Every structure is written in structure tokens, then in C-alpha cells.
Amino acid sequence: MSRIITLFNQCGGVGKSTLTMNLGYALANRSHRVLLVDLDPQASLTTFMGLEPTELKATIYNSLLEDWKLPILTSIHKMDLVPTNINLSVAELELISALNRESRLKNALNPVTFEYEYILVDCPPSLGLLSILGLTAATHLLVPIETEFKSYFGTGLLLDTVQRVKTHVNQNLKIAGFVPMKFDKRRSQHTRTLEQIHRELSPLGTIFPAVPDSTLFSDATEVRKPLACYKSKHPGIQVLSEIAIGLEKL
């Protein structure tokens, strides 16, 4: 059965795109068929996967606004990718008057859903319409949360948006869980925030193991690779693999 997992947090820079690529790789490494979807006009995921966004002939924009067949680039680090570029930034305005706008991503994915066990959707850092499309298409929501006080602060707003989507357009949406990101156990604020995440969010969904703070994540994306292809012995890889195993139980 396909699981469409949308990674969403309106807070910028928490590690959504990094987690999408690295978790996708961990799932693909466990022999699952994985499709990544870049729903952020910044195109970080598209870039992390080694593509040049300005050179793309077709992107998710064409599928959402012009009903094109989904453009799928195959076999990049064992995964497939629906890329994007800056053209998607006008989509929110254009979608305002579009019929059935919330379901546009869900409908675009429909013909290929059965080909994949996991479809991971990387949302932009906003509560806007593109994120709503991501949540409407999803079977599950995965929330990366930075273990910083400031980042945790916005979680209430995020959960309000999820509740609105559940009430109005996607009753079946489930919270897969929360992934604490950039955790540095030497920093007491990180430890306190992680405890708070466990205390306050565990009634809502699984709290997955914390992804450690490490500049090697950034170094790996700089050379357009998942961390596991860059530093295969990094402790973060075991954590990503544990999260992947957790997602197999959904």
C-alpha cells in the first residue's frame, strides 16, 4: 500500500528538505520504491538531488496548473523525483481561482501512486495554499521540528492548519509523527526542548529518534548527495534508518 507522507512545518530552515532526501534514501535502501515531490518554489530538494532548477523543461507547476502528466525523473540515488523551480511561486496566486484547487496534487499523483510504496512531499515553509495541497494529498503528516525553543513555538499554528485540512478536505489524514531535528545533546536548551516535544506532542503522534546536529548534512547536500553516500559511517544514518523502520509500521 502506498503511503503519501507530507513533510510540513511552516517554520523555515528546520531541515524539511534535508530530511525528505535522506529519509527517502533510507527507505530506498531498505528496498522500497520511493518518489520525492518538491512542492517548494525555492527548489531546495530539486537542487539537493543534483538538478539545476532553471534548466527543467517540466515541473510540478505544469501538472498542478496545466494538467500535464507528472514529470518524474527516475533513478537519482535510488529514488524518483518530481522536481520544481521558481515558476511554482506564482502557483498560489493562480490557484486561487482554480476549480478543485486543494485536490490538485492528490489528483496529479493518482495515476502513479500504485507504483511507489512511499511518496514523500517536501512543503514550503508557509501555511499557504501549496502546503494545503501537500496536506490534502497526504495519507500521513510528518513534522520535522528543530530542537530550539523558537522553532517549537510555532507548533500550535501548524496543528491548527492540520486540523482545518482534516475537517474540510482530508478526513483520513493521520499524523505519522514528529522528527526532532538538529539535536545537539551538549546544549541544555536542545535537551529541554526535546523533553517538551516528548511531553506535549507524544499524545498526537510518534516522536521519532532525534536527528543529530551535524554540518556533514550540509556538506553532503553541497555535493548533491544523501549523507549515507557521503559519510557512510555517520551516526545520523542509523537514526534515519530507525525512522524509516518506524514508517514501515504506519
Ligand X SMILES: Nc1ncnc2c1ncn2[C@@H]1O[C@H](COP(=O)(O)OP(=O)(O)OP(=O)(O)O)[C@@H](O)[C@H]1O
Per CB under 6 A, residues contacting ligand X are 12-18, 40, 42, 44, 125, 181-182, 211, 213-214, 217-218, 221
Q: 6 is in the binding site of which of Mg ion, ligand X, none (Cβ under 5 to 8 A by kind)? A: none
What's the closest the beta carbon of residue 123 comes to ligand X, in angstroms? 8
CA dist., res. 247 & res. 5, Å (int): 9
Q: Which of 153, 156, 154, 138 is nearest to 204 (CA)?
A: 156
15 binds, among Mg ion, ligand X, none (CB under 5 to 8 A by kind): ligand X
Strands across the sheet containing 140-146: 73-76, 79-82, 34-38, 118-122, 3-7, 140-146, 174-181, 206-207
- With respect to Mg ion, which residue has the nearer C-beta, 46 or 147? 46
Closest Cα to residue 194, out of 152, 240, 159?
152
235 binds, among Mg ion, ligand X, none (CB under 5 to 8 A by kind): none
Taking the complex as a whole, the smallest distance from the CB of residue 222 to ligand X amounts, in Å, to: 8
Binder of residue 13, out of ligand X, Mg ion, none (CB less than 5 to 8 A by kind)? ligand X
Closer residue to ligand X in complex, CB, 14/95:
14
Closest contact distance (angstroms) between CB of 88 and Mg ion is 13
Query: In terms of CB distance, is 16 or 101 closer to Mg ion?
Result: 16
Answer positive or negative: Cα dihedral of 157, 158, 159, 161: positive
The least CB distance from residue 141 to ligand X, in Å, is 15
Closer residue to ligand X in complex, CB, 112/127? 127
- With CB atoms as reference, the residue minimizing the distance to Mg ion is 17
Closest residue by Cα to residue 82 from 32, 31, 134, 126:
134
Query: CB 127 → ligand X: shortest distance, Å?
Result: 12
Residue type, 155: T
Closer to ligand X at the Cβ: 6 or 17? 17
CB of 50 to ligand X, least distance (A): 15
Pairing of strands 118-122, 34-38: parallel
Choose among 15, 14, 33: nearest CA to 24: 33
- List, in sequence order, every residue forming a beta bridge with 82; answer none if it has no partner: 37
User: Closest distance between Mg ion and the C-beta of residue 40, in Å?
Assistant: 5
Listing DSSP states for 139-156 in one string gives SEEEEEEESSHHHHTTHH
Q: Which residues bind Mg ion (CB under 5 A)?
A: 16-17, 44
Distance of CA 248 to the CA centre of its chain: 16
- Partner that binds at residue 217, options ligand X, Mg ion, none, CB closer than 5 to 8 Å by kind: ligand X
Closer Cβ to ligand X, 97 or 137, answer by number: 137
The end-to-end CA distance of the chain, in Å, is 10
Which C-beta is closer to ligand X: that of 98 or that of 239? 239
